[in-house]
Amino acid sequence: MADAQSGRSLVVDAVTHRYPSGALAVENINLDIKGGEIIALLGPSGCGKTTLLRIIAGFIAQSQGRIIIGDDIVDALPPNRRAVGIVFQNYALFPHLTVTENVGYGLAARGIDKATRQREAQRLLELVQLPSMAERLPRQLSGGQQQRVALARALAIKPSILLLDEPFAALDKNLRLDMQIEVKRLQRVSGITTLIVTHDQEEALSMADRVAVLSHGKLEQFGSPSDVYDRPQTLFVNTFVGSSNRMPGVVVSADRTAAKVRLDAGAEIVARPAGGTLSEGGRVTVCIRPEHLQFVSDETGFAGVVGMSLPLGATVVHEVTTADGSGVKVSQARIGETRALENGAAVRLAPLAPSLANAFPATL
Amino acid sequence: MGTAPASRDVTSYGMGLAAPLALFFLVFFVAPLLQLLWLSLHNDTAGLHWGLGQYLHFLTDPFSLSVLGSTLLLGAEVTLVCLVLGFPIAWLYQRVGPRLQTIIILIVLLPLLTSVVVRTFAWIVILGRQGIINATLQSLGIIDTPLRLLYTQFGVVIALAQVQMPLMTLPLITALGRIDPNLDDASCSLGAGSWRTFFRIVLPLSLPGVIAGCTLTYAAAITAFITQSLIGGGQMLFMPMYLYQQASTLQNWPFASAISIIFLLAVLAVVSVFTTLGRLSRGYGGA
Ligand SMILES: Nc1ncnc2c1ncn2[C@@H]1O[C@H](COP(=O)(O)OP(=O)(O)O)[C@@H](O)[C@H]1O
Ligand SMILES: [Mg+2]
């Protein structure tokens, strides 16, 4: 399926959008997406993901900035001339048309004859593994099947960019995993530049080559899944992607690569200054993921008292209350016989490595 | 009986609850209808001789047939005008902000809040020889002598269309509102222009509303005694007035009854054509 349209690059250049109501939905977003990449647009509900998607598709004219597909600035083009394929969250299949007619709709709009349309629809239905459903109506299909049809319909116009708005949110967990694998497979086969909007961080991390994290209309970070997960640039990214313990503290000494922080919980630890340099004496928030904390037997870490322990299959999560009264979560891999921790046991905790604790300037 | 509690399910209660309404219909609708039928089957006004004479008279009398024909045609014209004018209003309603929506719905509903008689007299004022339209056209110098608007088919159609417009617009608004707005966007993103989107997506999906609106408007337009008579005046005769003359002025009750029955059957035929179209439209697509 190597056709000329596939795999064009997409540049979102300083795009800002304010709705007529005055709501600033996206603010100065810059994304440079290479042809054939699969990108996740990740952020909580209301952060402007759909708005950005609709701007790229051409349904909304942005207040400022440019959208560039391949070598073309497309801002003046209406949606029906942008060759952008969209899969809507609710699939938006045409309820009165059969599966074949749905898939062939875009081809009909291009004036392609019926026989060719049907042949092409059949080929795409085979691609999404639904060849036997051709004559059914959308309502006679399950959610997953409808989504496959929506995908086939979007792919039929050989789009240069494929946009998916929360495509898996309505599916149950097992089906979601199937469809995620399916979309990733189709994307690999077709090489279409793909943008997936999601509020599910696992989905973003597992599917995308790169993840753009949005919060309140601003781009917080744009990087590979491991960048975003392991080297978050902002406190928001650190806490939104994966779970994280937030521990307040004061900077004792700092340089560009390491900061010594005195935690309110009562220990001095070395952390990575994330998102800029830190000043001595300034208050910081240190983020440590539950799986990056370990129980230590010497005097290095901070003290705490074990509360609840939750066995979650491969890991056990302990809730520990620290000296300053805040709670932290510690996740321990279940390797053989894990040391049983009783409710109320006194323990000491320390990060596994300095690079696994991220210090951000405190905002409040 | 006590051994089969499952048989005393919800439906038996439902039937019981429907009894008052059923009784009401029986006494005030079915019974008069049967009486009408019985009356129409008499050849003389005294009701002594049975026969199909009244029906034969109607069906062989060119005048009666022309009244029936022009009434059915009037309904079709009014329905068409309402559809052509009402669809854009309903379409617009689904695409504007909430404030404009309130204004549109108010404009649509306003006619329902005023009496038909008042609305009809308003049209007389508008369409009359010295009415608003003629006065305006004359003062602009477009015409010298007043146009004949009142007491014409055109006048009746326009006035009826305005009077019956809500019956078309409301079902259309409902039907268009049920269409997922994403379908518009999906069609557009697949490369379709607005006209293709309208004819391939919006119109087919709004057909239930179109058919409901047409049925209501048609039935209301052909039976609209007041507007038909006041705007049509003496020159134009439609079935309701024809019927009224026969019954009230000429006291020819058997013939009036036959007219009613024939009118009823004609309306039922037209309505069932609409309903069949509706079923076909739902079938269109394979369901
Ligand atoms: N049509 C609109 N008019 C005004 N404000 C809107 C409109 N659509 C969205 N917004 C606002 O813009 C912000 C971003 O919305 P959206 O892009 O839908 O977020 P997301 O898809 O990430 O949930 C929200 O604060 C929302 O209230
Ligand atoms: Mg959204």
Contacts of A154 in chain B (CB under 8 A): 189-190
Sign of the dihedral through C-alpha A103, A108, A110, A115: positive
Number of separate domains in chain B: 1
Question: What is the pLDDT of chain B when averaged over all its residues?
Answer: 88
Residue B236 has pLDDT above 90, yes or no: no
- For residue B18, being part of any structural domain is answered with no
Percent of chain B with pLDDT over 70: 93
Structural domain containing residue B183: 50-285
Find the residue in A nearest to B202 (Cα): A94
- Tell me if A79 and B187 make a contact (CB, 8 A cut-off): no
Longest dimension (CA), chain A: 78
- Name all domains of chain A by residue range, CATH numbers in brackets: 2-235 (3.40.50.300), 243-361 (2.40.50.140)
User: In 3-state terms, what secondary structure has residue A20?
Assistant: coil
Sign of the dihedral through C-alpha B213, B219, B221, B225: negative
Residue B287 has pLDDT above 50, yes or no: no
- Using one digit for the tens of pLDDT, what is the confidence trace for B162-200? 989 999 999 999 999 999 999 999 999 999 999 999 999
- For residue B174, being part of any structural domain is answered with yes
Q: What stretches in chain A show pLDDT beneath 70?
A: 1-6, 336-340, 364
- For residue B81, being part of any structural domain is answered with yes
Find the residue in A nearest to B282 (Cα): A96
Contacts of A165 in chain B (CB under 8 A): none
- Using one digit for the tens of pLDDT, what is the confidence trace for A118-138? 999 999 999 888 889 999 999
Mean pLDDT calculated for residue range B247-271: 92
- Using one digit for the tens of pLDDT, what is the confidence trace for A4-13? 445 899 999 9
Position B2 scores a pLDDT of 42
CB A151 within 8 A of CB A180: no
- For residue B71, being part of any structural domain is answered with yes
**Residue bearing the bigger pLDDT, A312 or B98:** B98
Helices and strands (H and E) in chain B: how many: 14, 0
**Residue bearing the bigger pLDDT, A42 or B226:** A42
- Tell me if B189 and A79 make a contact (CB, 8 A cut-off): yes
Q: Is the pTM of this model over 0.95?
A: no
**What is the distance of C-alpha B118 from the center of its chain?**
19
DSSP string, B176-188: HHTS-HHHHHHHH
> Ligand 1 in contact with A14 (CB < 6 A)?
no
Compute the count of residue pairs across chains A and B with CB atoms less than 8 Å apart. Answer: 75
- Using one digit for the tens of pLDDT, what is the confidence trace for A44-94? 999 999 999 999 999 999 999 999 999 999 999 999 999 899 999 889 999
Contacts of B196 in chain A (CB under 8 A): 109
CB contact A111 to B (< 8 Å): no
Position A5 scores a pLDDT of 46
Residue B216 has pLDDT above 80, yes or no: yes
B52 Cα–ligand 1 center, Å: 71
Letter string b/e over residues B57-78, b meaning 16 or more CB atoms within 10 A of that residue's CB: ebeeeeebeebbebbbebbbbb
CA distance B189 to A160: 12
Q: Hey, whose CA ends up nearest to atom 14 of ligand 1?
A: A48
Percent of chain B with pLDDT over 90: 56
The CATH number given to whatever domain includes residue B54 is 1.10.3720.10
- For residue B11, being part of any structural domain is answered with no
- For residue B254, being part of any structural domain is answered with yes
- For residue B200, being part of any structural domain is answered with yes
Choose among A78, A88, A153: nearest Cβ to B182: A88
Whether complex ipTM tops 0.90: no
